[in-house]
Structure 1
Amino acid sequence: MTKITFMGTPMTLIGKEVKVGDKAPDFTVLNQGLEPVTLSDYDGKVKIISVIPSIDTGVCSQQTRKFNEEASSLENTVILTISVDLPFAQKKWCDTEGLPNVTTLSDHRDLSFGEAYGVVIEELRLLTRAVFVLNSDNRVVHAEYVGEVTDHPDYETAITKAKETE
């Protein structure tokens, strides 16, 4: 299992680690309108799944903005930002930041995504920082669990994998 720290303190991840080559597990999260969303809602598209602890913090905000700016020109690709923030908080952040088209999804209800992808931090009930790239057939082509939750992910590698997958 992947080892992570939060501000230097070791944390425990709950769920099954997802690896390159795996069939991506399904999940149910909520969109900003409180409607359920599943992986199959994005069938046929390449998916960059940007996982963050909380959208209203510095690194998480930068990560959300960066992936959406960098990947906006990719063909047949969606960027999904998933956290346990309430959908209302995600919508407020998008409106305040002037990014109304960012797809934010909330896993606050039952941690369906977090447990399926092994990203729930047991001690904090937050999701750890991670990035997954799935091809149009929902195979994992890139998986990064960031070792220190307060660090940035490897944006370049994730974007490159998505471009190679298009």
Structure 2
Amino acid sequence: MQITMKNAPLSTNGQPPVVGNKLPDFKVEKADGTIVNMVELITRPTLISVVPNINTSVCSISTKRFNSEVDNYSGINFYTISTNTNTEQKNWCAAEGVKQMELLSDAHHDFGEQMGLFVEDAGIDARSIWIVDTDKKVLYQELIQEMTDEPNYNAALEFLNEITK
């Protein structure tokens, strides 16, 4: 997939799943160092926000915005996945006061590679939003073409409102 960062062209390692397809199996690391796979994470409808680097402004803004919405959606898992280490993520959470949204580390790039989101030249995953059901089927996706742009929060949250009625 072709994307840009500050208008410079980049490519991901493949094509991400489309709406209607199931997510590929992947592994990520929790804050406590535990490696978990997709089946362990997707236990109810889930919103996954993928950010390239939690220590950059847009990634920080995006994560804090979704964190502020978590309590409005009982029965929904909210995760942010970045290529930062779990230590970097814990430090960011402590500094920013993020307590509700669970950050997951893709420092080993398994998630990004399996999802077709890994940008090898930059060592990051492409910014995107995913909403999946308990069968791991993609119900909603937003693939952000310019990595410095924020996602469409309202569209994702409106979609969550629709599926939780």
TMscore range, shorter length = over 0.9
How far apart are the structure 1 equivalents of 2:20 and 2:42?
17
CA distance in 1 between counterparts of 2:35 and 2:14 reads: 21
Partner of 1:161: 159
Aligned CA distance change for structure 1 residues 152 and 48 (closer, same or farther; 3 Å): same
Distance 1:43 1:50, change over 3 A: closer
CA contact (8 A) 2:42 2:77 kept: no
RMSD between aligned residues: 1.3
Percent identity (aligned): 32
**2:72 aligned counterpart, secondary structure:** coil
In 1, the alpha carbon distance for the partners of 2:3 and 2:42 equals 31
> Deviations 1:46-105 (Å, cap 9, x if unpaired)?
111000011011000000011121232112101110011010000011111111332001
How many pairs were matched up? 164
Structure 1 gap ranges (5+): none
From 139, 144, 152, give the equivalent of 2:137: 139
Structure 1 residues 43 and 11: CA distance shift in structure 2, 3 A:
closer
Q: Distance in 1 between matches of 2:134 and 2:152?
A: 21
With structure 1 as the length reference, what TM-score do the two structures score? 0.93
SS across alignment from 2:48: strand
Task: Assess if the C-alpha contact under 8 Å between 1:94 and 1:102 holds in 2.
Answer: no
Amino acid at match of 1:99: V
Conserved 8 A contact 1:135-1:165: no
CA contact (8 A) 1:5 1:147 kept: yes
Match of residue 56 from structure 1: 55
Cα distance in 2 for residues equivalent to 1:162 and 1:46? 9
Q: List structure 1 segments (4+ residues) > 4 angstroms apart after TM superposition.
A: none
Distance in 2 of aligned mates of 1:26 and 1:84:
17
Q: 2:124 and 2:85 mapped to 1: Cα distance? A: 12
Q: Which residue of 1 aligns with 2:126?
A: 128
TM-score (norm 2): 0.94
Asked whether the 8 Å contact 1:16–1:116 carries over to 2, the reply is: no
In the aligned structure 2, how far is the partner of 1:90 from the partner of 1:16? 27
Asked if 2 retains the 8 angstrom alpha-carbon contact of 1:56 and 1:93, the reply is yes
The code of the aligned residue for 1:93 comes to: W
Query: Structure 2: how far apart are the matches of 1:59 and 1:93?
Result: 14
Structure 2 unpaired stretches of 5+: none
Secondary structure of residue in 2 paired with 1:72: helix
